[in-house]
Amino acid sequence: MTDARPKRARVAKDGTAAEDGRAPLRFGDDPLLWAAWLYYEEGLTQSEIAAAMGISRPTVVAYLSEARDCGIVNISIAGDRLRALSLARQVAEHFGLRDCLVIPSDGGPRSLIERLGDAGAKALSWHLRSGDSVGIGWGRTTLAVAVAVPDLGLKDLRVVQATGGTTAAIPYTPEACATRLSEALSARMIPMSAPAIVSSGEMRDLLLQEPVLQEQMSELDRIDTIVFGVSSLRPNSTIHTSGFFAKALDQRDHYRDAVGSLAGRFIDVTGKPVIGSLENRTIGIELARLKTVRTRIGVSGGFDKVPAILAALRGGYINVLVTDAATAEGILRADGVEVRRQSLTRRPPSQPDRGKVAAAPGEVPQPDVKKLLNDPRDAVNESLEGALLAFPDHIRTIDGSVRAICRSRPAAPGKVGLVIGGGAGHEPLFLGYVGEGLADAVAVGNVFSAPPPDRIVRCTRQVSTGAGVLHVFGNYTGDLMNFEMAAEMAAAEGIDVRAVVTTDDVASSPASDRAARRGTAGNIFVFKIAGAACEMMLSLDECERIARKANACTYTMGVGLAPCSLPETRRPSFRLGPDEIEIGIGIHGEPGVVRSVAMSADDVADRIMDALIEDAGLDPGARVGILINSLGATPMMELGILNRRIRQRLEARDITTVRSWMGHYCTSLDMTGASISLVVLDEELETLLLRPCDGFGFRQG
């Protein structure tokens, strides 16, 4: 087989390509064997194999599939591991769990508790995210989890002790578990400064009135993830050794119906709470609150725990279970479920056609994107005509030009005029931000193109009342050149013009070169604050200062899931693979600064928020405004999912969101994706941001 593409050498552990790109000698001339070795033995991804062998990724997929079909690769899984995998799937399906991890019951010299601890740490790492608040119980297995957790490199984590303290005679106290986990995660620890069991209900009520304990207890309401063990009620169980039962009669008289305990609370075989003499003396998370935590990781094993774990599953207290195979099978049988046996089926290691492969040069192009257009050359003018007809109370033409537009109601004499502008294709930017408390006029160019100088001058002349005019526009070559020329032409007519260039896109240039950054959706914050300053009849010097300050405090980053398509071409402006996204996307149809594999909404939000928080230097106590912006095709549903995670991250860092906006504010035609902007507020900027305004794309008050 030959491949016309150039070969690229790559150094792998034991699959090193020769300098001329040939396979290492020990693979002979067999590309199937080479590809199979790199994939199964060296652990390379299909993309990495393609680079190493100098072939396309679809060819790699075909090689791997053929290697299995012809017997080069014969996959087998150890029987105990296959059984554990099958049981985990069946337990998750039967109880409706988010996740289930089952380990083999026989694990050599290591104890079951140690191995459950490792598995619990893995489960926690799968579900934990930056900004989370993590609750933790206590017990032997819970401490083993905390000991096994590695530093995950996550940020802004909190570890909350879920119950009060227990006897110091045991090493796995709530304090010990919380301390160990917080150290492992480099997280802030929230202790519980009270015993888990106090002498009386009256004492509990008194303690809960203490401000320190009230503050600590309130942290239980912020928990996103909790990890805990499940205790049986056998004499050597955690609930006994922790000192909960002062005498045997306590259990026999009040807890005869209980089969297990979670975080010091007792449940019966159906999972319902068992209320006994300890209930009004217990300090810690309550079962009702436990059930509302997003991720509830129960780690427990051993055949004696079957009734207790089954009760916890029936009660809905666990949605991620970590246990061993014997216990998992016992749980299923105890609940009347026939345990399935599962075998492997022959299938390729990956699906070669999960999405349409992007067309390369010379290949059949993708079909045109469908659009509601007449003549594409008339699209901008016809769109502006429609907007003028839809919003006559907000905007009107200047001298009959649909591309030079001002507010319908003239501004008061002596007010600084505010002119904004840029290319079409970003609607409702810029047109929607003309009105009271916003801009006074807008100059519109062709799609993704700067407006010409004479149009900017026409807008400047229209809004000049003698106090000067402020130009605010994005940092793009055409805009810089044309607005500068327009300012010189206006100055020749005696109009004092100042210019503020927006530079909010953190992905386009490092903080050390802020002046080189692009202006993107953060424009809206600068327009709003500058418009409020002008509406308050402040001087031109003050309006310029405030606009520059707003720009310096604004930060944006976007992600693209699919490119936009221009009206004239109706073709994607760039190509993305089916599992690829663009991080740091612009708003003019260009790719982002980094291409990444597709990720979940929360992971996208985390990626962006990490960058914004770091760039802005946000510390606890800061106050911000947030804009979650669709780049065109992304619906409000998905923006809401992003906003939910953004607010979690900010709250985890004790940052106050003064107000958030969500929707289409600065688009890139029909691009699929979103951007997140934040503006860091002091008293001056906050006051101006919240003042009333009335543009058809931005209204408040």
Orientation angle between helical segments 636-652 and 601-616, nearest 10 degrees: 50
Give the pLDDT confidence score for residue 517 in this predicted structure: 93
Residue 35 near residue 63, CB atoms below 8 Å:
yes
Give the pLDDT confidence score for residue 421 in this predicted structure: 97
Residues in CB range of 190: below 8 A, 6 or more apart: 158, 159, 160, 161, 178, 216, 219
pLDDT tens digits, one per residue of 318-354: 999 999 888 898 899 888 887 765 443 333 333 333 3
Q: Please, what are the domains in the chain?
A: 2-69 (1.10.10), 80-334 (3.40.50.1360), 376-537 (3.40.50.10440), 554-700 (3.30.1180.20)
What is the distance between the alpha carbons of residues 46 and 57, in angstroms, rounded to a whole number? Answer: 6
Full DSSP string of 280-300 = GGB-B--HHHHTTSSEEEEE-
Residue 12 near residue 45, CB atoms below 8 Å:
no
Nearest to 256 by CA among 236, 277, 242, 238: 277
Nearest to 557 by CA among 602, 594, 507: 507
Q: Which phi and psi angles does 631 have, rounded to 5°?
A: -80, 0
Residue ranges for the chain with pLDDT beneath 50: 1-21, 25-26, 247-249, 342-364
pLDDT tens digits, one per residue of 147-168: 999 999 999 999 999 999 987 7
Cα 320–chain centre separation: 21
What is the distance between the alpha carbons of residues 468 and 110, in angstroms, rounded to a whole number? Answer: 79
Catalytic residues: 426, 588
Give the pLDDT confidence score for residue 120 in this predicted structure: 94
Give the pLDDT confidence score for residue 69 in this predicted structure: 75
Q: Is the CA virtual torsion 510, 497, 425, 674 positive or negative?
A: positive
Residue 278 near residue 250, CB atoms below 8 Å:
yes
Give the pLDDT confidence score for residue 44 in this predicted structure: 80
Give the pLDDT confidence score for residue 604 in this predicted structure: 97
What is the distance between the alpha carbons of residues 427 and 431, in angstroms, rounded to a whole number? Answer: 7
> CB-side exposure of 279: number of CA atoms within 13 Å?
12
Query: 205: which 2 tokens?
Result: 């009520």
Nearest to 301 by CA among 225, 207, 231: 231
Give the pLDDT confidence score for residue 335 in this predicted structure: 86
